[in-house]
Chain A
Amino acid sequence: MRKRLVSILTVLLTLTIALSGCAGRKAGDSSKIVVGIPQDLEDSLDPHKAVAAGTREVLFNVFEGLLKPDENGELIPAVAESYTASEDGLVYTFKLRDGVKFHNGNRVTAEDVKYSIEKSAGMTGEESLIAAFSNIKEVNITDKDTVEIVLNERDVDFPAYIASVGAAVIPADNANPDTMPVGTGPYKYVSRSPQENIIMTRFDDYWGEPAHIANVEFRIEANNDAMILALKGGTIDMCARISASQTSQLSNTFTVYEGSMNLVQALYLNHNVAPFDDIRVRQALCYAADKQEIIDIAFDGKGSPLGSSMFPAFGKYFMPELTDTYTPDLSKARELLKEAGYPDGFDMTITVPSNYQPHVDTAQVLVEQFKRIGVNATIQQVEWNTWLSDVYANRQYESTVIGVDASQLTANAMLGRFYSKAEDNFTNYSNPEYDKLFEEAQVTIDDDKRTELYKKMETLLAEDAANVYIQDMAEFVPLAGKLDGYVFYPLYVQDIAKLYFKEQ
């Protein structure tokens, strides 16, 4: 009896070991890469409905608009070959590129473009997610490869909206864009499995330079730590946006690219809640918060400190001098608090979405820094969904640490939300002077003058201490040693088509 038991157990154990051994992936598969992503695309695959940045960065490989952004943030022609704007800025005429094909093999026609723009603009009854598209009056087909878009009001940023994934060109006759996406991009969609992966394959009839790597799997990992484990184990070849401390866990078989996340991380303050309606209190918090200390403690020293709602990738709009509007100065901070009537400080709550560890870490450092001026802050961690509804949509909060990014490379994408009537003004910032500048910028055509206005708005936000600005966070992209060719975009994008295998 005992013998038999022992032999059963031995067999079981050997089986466990033997079978576990073969679970690894075949090495040297040179036609496929696996990209790890830290969250699923819990979203529709219809580009016009996809909201999450995480979805858009993946769909960037499948879809294109009439125009698309390049890695410098410039708009380059995609489905359209060229475009012109009328003198009054109300009519944009797009000439379609010859021979652009959809993944289903059909040619892109002017009807497809009209359908796509109208669908994306909500003219077919669906909800439009691109606010600027409510400005579209009509879409006309002038001849078989020319489409003209007529606007209600002049909008200099219109081409930038046309270049976003949300304005992608899709076939007019597709049956089910939610689950069977068809686009014109370098990769075509193959399949998806919720919480598991999304698989794409190279589109061989792509109009532009074709992708180098034939097959791509975006694998969904439970979180960043699981992603590091998977990188180490070799089940994924690359991932984006890991922290400095996580890169140090990786061996040197990985090439680590350093870039920035292109967002403005700040302690955003609700201006409708006392005492944050008082500029002296906000300034006191700005003087108390030491950006560099936060970056050193919570981010291993990697990150670019900021002083207003604009990040360096914006080039001409970015004003580096604003970073030092408030340098750490505790006595000034205490002074200001006393003037504002809070000589002993006050209590405040910082609401942070618990799934973003970097923001939680930042909040923890802030709590300690605010203690130095007697301000007693407590951190309230909430689920992302709760953050969205309570903080963002309903504006029921005192302060929150979050990163705000730009969905298009337009100054409005960053600065528009501080216009007092803006729908997405979640900080309730309201300043008549700012509003005047904003309204003026919308109708100014001359680019230099416009840039000047936007710079004034940035300066105003900094001087007003609208929020406690912290940094543009550093991001690290580890790439398996066999790969090369990663490029950063100033937008939330993963361009897989540019990756290639190194010559061995």
Chain B
Amino acid sequence: MNDTNQIIISARDVHKWYGNFHALKGINMEVNKGEVIVIFGPSGSGKSTFIRTINRLEEHQRGEILVDGIELSHDVRNIEAVRTETGMVFQQFNLFPHLTVMQNITLAPIQVRNWSKKQAEETAMQLLGRVGIPDQAHKFPGQLSGGQQQRVAIARALAMQPKIMLFDEPTSALDPEMIKEVLDVMVELAQSGMTMLVVTHEMGFARAVADRMFFFDQGQIVEGGKPDDVFNNPKEDRTKLFLSQILSH
């Protein structure tokens, strides 16, 4: 847990509509520096949509989002500034198939941060070591397993040295035996003090490293709190029902 309680993400009354469908109905959340937040809930509950509003992959239509003091508005410079400080890991990895692992990782630092190629490649090698696949640097994403691809995706996001990492169901597209290798990397990252927002149903991960967790349903936060409280004493019936469904097997 973080002692300084410095707020790095602040979302106030965030609303989002897709046509007439009200996907987010007034989300309020404040995240402190170094906190690990787990977001869970049934599909269509708006949890992915919410974390995608934080780096403006989705535009919110009402309310206010501040990331590291920068307000997300229509100003492209603000959006790019926030994206530079925010890393994202996707369910489908979204690696660039025409680039090698090394190029996948170094592209943004070279093009956005204006690093030299040498500096970017050194950092990339360090990160590949950290996620446990230093020997795959010159392969193409298509030659790697799903778990390895997702670890490359994490390294790619970390290469920009972000202040915040967003994970959008990072293990949902993986075979069971590969989930652990990705979760291990995420646990290590959480312990290193990174601010993380993780949409996931991996309750073991949540119990181990989450500082707080939030249950989303129908575009709203139903309840949130410390993992112990949410797991052991859920206040709402919907939370109880959902937890019993995903923990029953």
A and B, one complex? no
What is B's interface to A at a CB cutoff of 8 Å? none
